[in-house]
Amino acid sequence: MADGTIVLVDDQYMFQTNIIYTGIHINTIQDINLSDQIHVLDFYIWFKYRGDINASDIIFLNAVKPLGLGKPIETEYSNGEHYEMYHVKGQFMCNAIDMSVDAGNNILGFSFRHATKPEYNIVYVSDISVMNANNNDRLLQDINQSSPAISTKYSARKLYYFSDVTYKKAFGKPGYLSESINGGVEFSRYNFFVHINEKKVSFRRITWNFYINLLMTIMSIMSLFLTASVLKSFAVKYPRLTWGVQLFMGYVLLISSEPLLLVFQVDESRLSYFEFIKLAYDIFWWLVPASFINLAIKRFIWIPLENKTGRRIPKIVTNSVIFLIYLMTFFGIVAYVFDQKLTSLLATSGVLAMIIGLAIQVNIANVFSGIVINIEQPFRIGDWIEIDHKFKGKVVDITWRTTRILTHSGNILSFPNSYTSESPINNYCYPDRNVWIKIIIHINPTYSPEKIKKICMDAMLSIDGLVKEIRPIIRYQLTDWCADYTLLFCINDYSKKIQFKSELYERIWIHLNRIGIEPAIKRQEVHMFRGTKDRGEEALNPLSILSEIDIFKGFSDELRKQLSQKMHQHQYHTEEYIIKQGNEGDSLFIIIEGSVSVQILIDGKHVEVDRMGAGTFFGEMALLTGEPRNASIVAITNCVLYEITKCDIAPLFTYYPEITDILSKELTRRAVNRQQKKEHYDQERIDKDALKNSFFSKISNCFGINKNVREIDRECVDTDFSI
């Protein structure tokens, strides 16, 4: 009674039990050594209690060496309640409490009891103002962040803090009244533990019933053999599905067979086998995924790449990738399975890799650049590209070491893939095959820009083969000596760039010449004002026009002069029909200005088959043979045309029957050219003589060459064409 452990209450002696509220704050967890099962804890511990007791006289039950609290770092007394805080740092044993945890998981922390006072005098409980379930997540977060040993290699998963009792033999020591309990005494024990697990990449420790594991192991082995041997054709047809089945069955085999083997080694006599099997499966869990990764790379990268390019991937590339994957696997096994540092190993392998890399760095760079080019495909075989703003050509071959292009001049240029992959690439065929072409025309600045723009637009729209959905662009700029007109048009075949530019220059000259304008040429003459005189109005003279039309070039000057006096001028607006397919007609049209679309009716729709511009003509078949119009002609821009009718030309056949032969030859030539262009006929397959005779017969019948003159067409022969 003198020490206050027994008190008198209502004439009865009773034990005085003191409640001590305990709180813990972990500063750091250090030097975790699971092989020796020790770790270092740095923490604060505080007690809150009432009465005159020594709450800090405690014994740490799992301390490696005897550890005392020392002097408190903070004390306080308020309203009859004592508060004491201590700073503790020391070594403690791991897994000091019997708790069920999985392999690879450990318990860190400590337990303590009072040194002298049993449970009936002192009970330690948690200070719920801090130690409560609501604060567990925050406490765990603090431990993970403040403890380098935890954050780098381990992860704190759960906190345990609770009170229970521990038993100690009394050995007859006076002062313990509970010696009747098996000759011992019970003390209040307070426990604070952290459940940690190693940061290992593992999918293991999943266990089922023994028979389920046995069944799954057998099924997995059978499935793996089945997919590897019997279903080879199925694997070729469905590589992703087969690989997924093999991966799943391999995983099931590992997680089912490991506990199946370990269950036979649980007795102490077989612990060495138990540890060996655990180590073997630790290694398997690295090697099996590595093998499946290599299999996936082969099926989903190498094989499709070989099929796409038609070339086998060099063995040095595939073997290098396999070696790299297994090397990384080896490093993982050393670091995570055997718990060894990789510093020296990485240093040695780095030196070796540097020596090998320096020896073959050029070839390796080319090979891997070739792989990247084949995977990313910045260009493909058949594309027209420009490399490094210098070299233009068509890609004809992409090997693992070089890229070859065919230039416009017919030469083959070979570039190392490393140079190609590092150089700027201009692909004229990607994302689509549309390419903008630019030419510049120099014109005398005295002419109206609007007029010149219209003429240039007519010339561009008269070219067949331009991308019709994209309208050409014309830009106007004055320079110190002329007016520059930049013409931009779009084609879908870069290989014909030169051909289209040449044709456009020719069409521009024809359209300008048709109205008497010549392109400006920068001359350096003593008398610059004595330049070539523009044709002016002479270009619009019907006689000049006839002399430049192919079909009338065989006529004598006198015949052209007589015919020019009968020509009629017409103007048509944009999208206006000039002639329609199937209509009767007896006239020919010569385009002086503008461009037109030639359309034929296919399945009820008008389909454009050609375009024509200034200097060309149409309608000759209806004029000379009397056949119905075989196409519709629609004005693309505002057009000026001259018309020659049957009445205008019929008298010529009366006085000059030889022109029948001239026109037959010209119609035959145009028909042959048209067939070769539109239908790609071989010239030798066309019977020119038969075609010429056919035209001769049609012209003769149309104009009645074999009949009496006055029966040809009485309304057309009243004109005097005699010379």
pLDDT exceeds cutoff 80 at 361: no
Asked if 188 and 260 sit in the same domain, the reply is no
- Give Cα separations from 628 to 586, 590, 620, 710 (angstroms): 9, 18, 11, 25
Q: Give the mean pLDDT of 124-148.
A: 83
* Structural domain includes residue 489: yes
- Between CA 570 and CA 442 the distance in angstroms is 30
- Domain residues for the domain of 702 are 551-711
Asked if 190 and 214 sit in the same domain, the reply is no
* Structural domain includes residue 298: yes
3-state class percentages of the chain: helix first, strand second, coil last, to nearest 5:
40, 30, 30
pLDDT exceeds cutoff 70 at 425: yes
- Between CA 133 and CA 144 the distance in angstroms is 17
Reported as type and span, the H/E element at residue 246 is helix 239-262
Asked if 644 and 563 sit in the same domain, the reply is yes
Q: Can you give 365-423 as a three-state secondary structure string? A: HHHHHHHHHHHHCCCCCCCEEEECCCEEEEEEEECCCEEEEECCCCCEEEEEHHHHHHC
Q: What is the CATH number of the domain that holds 700?
A: 2.60.120.10
* Structural domain includes residue 643: yes
pLDDT exceeds cutoff 70 at 181: no
Q: What is the CATH number of the domain that holds 52?
A: 2.70.170.10
Q: Give the mean pLDDT of 165-182.
A: 66
The predicted structure's pLDDT at residue 400: 73
Asked if 648 and 690 sit in the same domain, the reply is yes
* Structural domain includes residue 108: yes
User: What is the chain's mean pLDDT, rounded?
Assistant: 79
pLDDT exceeds cutoff 90 at 20: yes
Q: What is the CATH number of the domain that holds 387?
A: 2.30.30.60
Asked if 685 and 606 sit in the same domain, the reply is yes
- Between CA 116 and CA 111 the distance in angstroms is 16
Of 414, 426, 314, 422, nearest in space to 371 by CA = 314
* Structural domain includes residue 16: yes
Ramachandran angles phi, psi of 491, nearest 5°: -125, 165
How many CA atoms within 13 Å lie on the side-chain side of 289? 13
Of 240, 201, 203, nearest in space to 329 by CA = 201
- Between CA 392 and CA 408 the distance in angstroms is 8
pLDDT tens by residue, 531-555: 455 555 666 788 888 888 877 777 7
At 627, is the secondary structure helix, strand, or coil?
Answer: coil
Ramachandran angles phi, psi of 376, nearest 5°: -75, -30
The predicted structure's pLDDT at residue 266: 44
* Structural domain includes residue 679: yes
Q: Give the mean pLDDT of 269-282.
A: 68
Asked if 277 and 399 sit in the same domain, the reply is no
pTM for this predicted structure: 0.43
* Structural domain includes residue 542: no
* Structural domain includes residue 241: yes
How would residue 89 be classed by pLDDT, with cut points 50, 70 and 90?
Answer: very high
pLDDT tens by residue, 40-54: 999 999 999 988 888
Reported as type and span, the H/E element at residue 542 is helix 542-547
How would residue 641 be classed by pLDDT, with cut points 50, 70 and 90?
Answer: very high
At 510, is the secondary structure helix, strand, or coil?
Answer: helix
How would residue 717 be classed by pLDDT, with cut points 50, 70 and 90?
Answer: very low
Asked if 224 and 192 sit in the same domain, the reply is no
Ramachandran angles phi, psi of 604, nearest 5°: 80, 5
- Between CA 394 and CA 413 the distance in angstroms is 10
Asked if 219 and 151 sit in the same domain, the reply is no
Domain boundary among 167, 198, 229: 198
Asked if 50 and 138 sit in the same domain, the reply is yes
The predicted structure's pLDDT at residue 84: 94
Q: Give the mean pLDDT of 225-230.
A: 56
Which has the higher per-residue pLDDT, 215 or 158? Answer: 158
539, 545, 550, 554: CA torsion to nearest 10:
-120
Of 697, 333, 640, nearest in space to 511 by CA = 640
Asked if 559 and 632 sit in the same domain, the reply is yes
Number of structural domains (the chain) is: 5
- Burial zone of 554 (CB within 10 Å; 0-12 exposed, 13-18 middle, 19+ buried): middle
| Strand ranges, E, within 140-289 | 154-169, 184-198
How would residue 715 be classed by pLDDT, with cut points 50, 70 and 90?
Answer: very low
Asked if 21 and 169 sit in the same domain, the reply is yes
pLDDT exceeds cutoff 60 at 229: no
Roughly what angle, to the nearest 10 degrees, separates helices 315-332 and 343-376?
140
Handedness of CA 33, 38, 40, 41 (dihedral sign): positive
Domain boundary among 294, 311, 328: 311
Contacts of 212 (CB under 8 A, 6+ apart): 256
**Amino acid at position 373, single letter:** I
**Quick one: what percent of the chain has pLDDT higher than 70?**
76
Q: Give the mean pLDDT of 143-159.
A: 78
pLDDT exceeds cutoff 50 at 719: no
Q: Give the mean pLDDT of 162-181.
A: 69
Tokens of 23: 């709180």
- Between CA 430 and CA 438 the distance in angstroms is 19
The predicted structure's pLDDT at residue 596: 92
The predicted structure's pLDDT at residue 46: 93
Asked if 403 and 439 sit in the same domain, the reply is no
pLDDT tens by residue, 397-410: 887 788 999 998 88
Ramachandran angles phi, psi of 440, nearest 5°: -120, 130
